[in-house]
Structure 1
Amino acid sequence: MSGNERIAGFWRWWAGRSDRIAAAIGAGTVPECSDEISAQVDALHQDLQWELAPGRRAQHALVVTAGGNPELRPLAERWFRTAPQGDPVWEYRPARAADPQALRHDLASGPHTLGLDQTELAIAIDEDRQLLDVSVHHPLFTDMPEEPRNRVSYLVLDWLLGEDGVERWVGAIESVVERPDDALPAEALPEIVDGLAERNPDGKWAMLEGRGEDGSVLLVTARRPLKWIDYPLFDQHIGVTLGYTEQHPAGLPSPEALTWLREAEDELTGILGDSAVLAAVATVNGQRTFHLYADSQDRTARDRASKWTEATHGARVEVYTDPGWRTVSRFA
């Protein structure tokens, strides 16, 4: 059974159970329904997670989430995009939403009970990558092993920014035992993220350069911000490579070759239109590769790219699944 068939089956089941589950929330008897819900979510994929939460525009929200796993995020997104239209009772989410109020409560972790309002963060801002590296500290971390410390840290960030917000704005995450000298209250994080977003309202491109042992130059132009979470269905990498013979000793194209490559890029991206997004362009040793991403369940971009390469001298295409955009992550 395909993923789309499993999703359709879930929504057929939900149509006959949503009223009962809403009533169970009101009566405080959700545990009686949890095994049934779990079975239906497991039928989508056993590693998906679910929860019932208060709604923003409705009474309740049903959340089916990849739990930070890029491999499953497209499935959660397709589940969400085929959901019934929201109504006064139910709304639907493909990721956990931010809930900063949760930091006003205590969190039990093994033998420890953490007052989350004591959590502090040290934040390093990378303006170029539009990412924050975050160190998370709590006074009780001194008594906790690394794994539960890390779990608490991720939960705190999820509550502050939501799952997608963490993926979009946070780079490295570290739980630290020693309190950083520049520690800030945890609730400052959303405002810092808002400031980073406001300083970078429009997309731009960054140029990166490296050199191989043979003296060849690798030149990369990459989208900024390079964030796959902004395109959660674009889980398919389409690599279109063009060879050029007129080049400098370091392997970069001559002015004539560069003009041809730019014209080819404009033609290719024009043909693909909104069916794909260009994430990065890498040039090295007489070859330029356009790293494109598209929806693996929509053949439009793949077919158009293949047709274009067949008609273009020196072009070839390679297509494979790449949720999370690992191929271009080194350019982020």
Structure 2
Amino acid sequence: MTDSVDQDLQTQTFKQRVSKFWQWYPTVAERFYQTIEAGQCGDLVDEVAEFCEATLPGLSWVFGPGENGGHSFTLSGEGQVAKQLLAEYWRQCAPEIPKWTFHASRQATPAGFVKGFAIAVDNGKRVDVDSFQVRTQVDDERQKIDIVAWHPALQSVPKTKHFTILFLLVDEVLGEFGTQMWLGQIKIEPFTPDSYTRSLSELPEFISQVNTYHQWEKLPPLETYTVYQLRENKPSPRGDTVIGSSLIPQLVFDCIDNEGKLDEDPLQNTGAELVYVAIDGSIFPDGQQSDVRANIEDILSDSLRKELSGQTLGGAFGLNESYIDLLLLDGEESRRIVSETLALLQLKNRFRIESFVNDMSHHSD
């Protein structure tokens, strides 16, 4: 790839990058399908890796089985919610391509194929899902299942690699979102099997039984909002927050604790950005602050989604200002949509758009 092409990609928004991907994939889909059918999937690695690293950096990818005998292409944010939202946007933009299925998270391997799945480790040993024992404990209050896990082959594997091996296998049997949704506290250590012990390959069936019995109503991670409160006000930006809810609570906490800016951009080089709108709290009627802020959030969400330019991530009510967190996918065009929408709500000169990660702020005109 030439320097000029690289520079062009660096200036493109995430929306433009996704469009570029979906212009490209239909042109290679049949060749990729035939190559995989011929058992030569490895021949595609360099080509796909080069294109994805240039176009969608920070997101991982993998080929896999598809529907009705086809193949699949999965893009993943590796469990980071902000990046998973990017992958989901990418999936929603996917065109229909014969013999291909597209996923925005790693999928669980079907039960009929998961038995016998293993990872090779040091000294020629294998860590397999059938011999990987897990002791389960149901936490009904948190709607999670805590596990203690152990495989004999881990005895000769450095402890620093234990969790990596376990999560690779757990993602295989539960899928990427399944791991996040169902598992709570995880320990890896030797234990004596008891009546609460089963193999890792049996964990999906057990989770299904638990969910049926307890009738948990769980949402996927990208639809799960966390309600939070600040124990005390802080002089930093957003430090006046009273209560809020968010899809990205930890990033909000880090932002508040770090004088209103994150040290590192979780979406660096992706062409997407995390921002928040701060709205003058004096405009909200007493007793209706949270409701009015929520209405504004809904209207902003509709405006951004209509143009495939971003989405809201939650927000908060503060003593002096109210806040709405946003994922913007189309750079200045997304900002224009936000500003014009708020102006139509008669909020001109009463809001500002602040980045989570740098000193660049966009004030209302």
Q: How much does 1:69 deviate?
A: 4.0
The reply to whether residue 222 of structure 1 matches residue 249 of structure 2 is: no
Distance 1:140 1:301, change over 3 A: farther
Given the alignment, which residue of 102, 117, 133 partners 1:120? Answer: 133
Given the alignment, which residue of 211, 217, 222 partners 1:200? Answer: 217
Distance 1:301 1:94, change over 3 A: same
Write the mapping of 1:242-253 to structure 2, written as runs, cut at 5 A.
242-243=280-281
For 2:54 and 2:248, locate their aligned partners in 1 and report how far apart those are by CA, in whole Å.
35
The reply to whether residue 319 of structure 1 matches residue 336 of structure 2 is: no
Distance 1:52 1:92, change over 3 A: same
Identity %: 18
Distance 1:319 1:208, change over 3 A: closer
For 1:241 and 1:180, locate their aligned partners in 2 and report how far apart those are by CA, in whole Å.
56
The question of whether the paired residues in 1 share the 8 Å contact of 2:75 and 2:103 is answered with yes
Given the alignment, which residue of 45, 48, 62 partners 1:34? Answer: 45
Write the mapping of 1:223-302 to structure 2, written as runs, cut at 5 A.
236-243=274-281, 258-262=286-290, 264-265=292-293, 267-269=295-297, 271-272=299-300, 274=302, 275=304, 276-277=311-312, 279-283=314-318, 286-287=319-320, 289-297=322-330, 298-299=334-335, 302=338
Secondary structure of residue in 2 paired with 1:141: helix
For 1:115 and 1:73, locate their aligned partners in 2 and report how far apart those are by CA, in whole Å.
28
Given the alignment, which residue of 54, 58, 79 partners 1:68? Answer: 79
CA deviation map 1:179-226 (0-9, x unaligned): 587544432344167449942268998876664499x99743537998
Residue 32 of structure 2 corresponds to 21
For 1:22 and 1:206, locate their aligned partners in 2 and report how far apart those are by CA, in whole Å.
41
Q: How much does 1:108 deviate?
A: 0.9
Residue 140 of structure 1 corresponds to 153
Residue 248 of structure 1 corresponds to none
For 1:44 and 1:260, locate their aligned partners in 2 and report how far apart those are by CA, in whole Å.
44
The reply to whether residue 59 of structure 1 matches residue 70 of structure 2 is: yes
Code of the aligned partner of 2:274: Q
Secondary structure of residue in 1 paired with 2:329: coil
Secondary structure of residue in 1 paired with 2:67: coil
For 1:225 and 1:9, locate their aligned partners in 2 and report how far apart those are by CA, in whole Å.
27
Residue 122 of structure 2 corresponds to 110
The question of whether the paired residues in 2 share the 8 Å contact of 1:241 and 1:317 is answered with yes
Distance 1:308 1:279, change over 3 A: same
Distance 1:317 1:131, change over 3 A: farther
For 1:173 and 1:282, locate their aligned partners in 2 and report how far apart those are by CA, in whole Å.
35
Distance 1:133 1:306, change over 3 A: farther
For 1:304 and 1:257, locate their aligned partners in 2 and report how far apart those are by CA, in whole Å.
22
Secondary structure of residue in 2 paired with 1:92: strand
For 1:225 and 1:195, locate their aligned partners in 2 and report how far apart those are by CA, in whole Å.
29
For 1:43 and 1:33, locate their aligned partners in 2 and report how far apart those are by CA, in whole Å.
16
Q: How much does 1:290 deviate?
A: 3.5
The question of whether the paired residues in 2 share the 8 Å contact of 1:242 and 1:289 is answered with yes
Unaligned runs of 5+ in 1: 229-233, 246-255, 323-332
For 2:72 and 2:226, locate their aligned partners in 1 and report how far apart those are by CA, in whole Å.
39
For 1:95 and 1:266, locate their aligned partners in 2 and report how far apart those are by CA, in whole Å.
29
Q: How much does 1:154 deviate?
A: 0.8
For 2:325 and 2:60, locate their aligned partners in 1 and report how far apart those are by CA, in whole Å.
30
Unaligned runs of 5+ in 2: 1-8, 252-271, 305-310, 358-365
Given the alignment, which residue of 154, 157, 168 partners 1:155? Answer: 168
Residue 176 of structure 1 corresponds to 189
For 1:86 and 1:196, locate their aligned partners in 2 and report how far apart those are by CA, in whole Å.
40
Q: Give runs of ≥4 in structure 1 deviating > 6 Å.
A: 201-207, 223-228
Code of the aligned partner of 2:104: P
Greater share of residues in strand: 1
Given the alignment, which residue of 57, 69, 91 partners 1:80? Answer: 91
For 1:162 and 1:105, locate their aligned partners in 2 and report how far apart those are by CA, in whole Å.
14
Residue 48 of structure 1 corresponds to 59
Distance 1:258 1:165, change over 3 A: farther
Secondary structure of residue in 1 paired with 2:338: helix
RMSD: 4.4
For 2:342 and 2:141, locate their aligned partners in 1 and report how far apart those are by CA, in whole Å.
34
Given the alignment, which residue of 200, 203, 207 partners 1:188? Answer: 203
Q: TM-score, normalised by structure 1?
A: 0.69
CA deviation map 1:272-291 (0-9, x unaligned): 353454635354xx335344
Code of the aligned partner of 2:316: V
Secondary structure of residue in 2 paired with 1:51: strand
Secondary structure of residue in 2 paired with 1:104: coil
Q: How much does 1:53 deviate?
A: 1.2
Distance 1:293 1:169, change over 3 A: farther
